Structure 1
Amino acid sequence: MASQVHSLAKKVWNYHLLNDQLEKSDCIFVLCSNDIRVAEHAAKLYLDGYAPYIVFSGGVGELTSGMFSGSEAEAFALVAADMGVPKESILIEPQSTNTGENILFTKALLEEKGLDPTTLILVQKPFMERRTYATFMQQWPVKQVMVTSPPISFDEYPNELITYSDVINVMVGDLQRIKEYPVLGYSMPQDIPDDVWQAFESLVELGFNEHLINSQ
Structure 2
Amino acid sequence: MATELPPPVLRAARTLWEYHLIYEPLSEADLIIGFGSYDLRVADHCAELFQKGLAPRILFTGKSGNWTGNLYESSEAEAFAARAMKLGIPEASILIEPRATNIGENIRFSRAMAGDDIQRVVMVTKPQTQRRVRATAASQWPEIETLVTAPPTRFEDQPTEAYPLENLINELVGDLHRMRIYPPKGYQIAQSIPASVADAFDFLVRKGYHHHL
TM-score, length-normalised on structure 2?
A: 0.95
For 1:12, the aligned partner's letter is L
Q: For residues 60 and 159 of structure 1, what CA distance do their matches in structure 2 show?
A: 17
Tell me, yes or no, if structure 1 residue 44 matches structure 2 residue 48. yes
Q: For residues 65 and 191 of structure 1, what CA distance do their matches in structure 2 show?
A: 32
For 1:134, the aligned partner's letter is A
2:38 corresponds to: 34
* Contact residue 23 and residue 150 of structure 2 kept, 8 A: no
Q: Deviations over 1:84-138 (max 9, x none)?
A: 1111110000111111111111111122xxx521111100011100001101110
2:181 corresponds to: 180
SS state at 1:186 partner = coil
For 2:175, the aligned partner's letter is D
For 1:3, the aligned partner's letter is P
Q: For residues 6 and 129 of structure 2, what CA distance do their matches in structure 1 show?
A: 23
Q: Deviations over 1:56-78 (max 9, x none)?
A: 01113342223222111011000
2:95 corresponds to: 91
Q: 2:79 aligns with which of 72, 75, 81?
A: 75
For 2:14, the aligned partner's letter is K
1:138 corresponds to: 139
Q: CA deviation at 1:49?
A: 1.1
Q: CA RMSD in A?
A: 1.1
1:161 corresponds to: 162
For 1:125, the aligned partner's letter is K
Q: Deviations over 1:135-185 (max 9, x none)?
A: 111001011111111111111111211111111010110011011100111
2:199 corresponds to: 198
Q: For residues 70 and 128 of structure 2, what CA distance do their matches in structure 1 show?
A: 24
Identity over aligned pairs, percent? 43
1:8 corresponds to: 12
Q: Deviations over 1:7-32 (max 9, x none)?
A: 11111000000121111211101111
Structure 2, unaligned stretches of length 5 or more? none
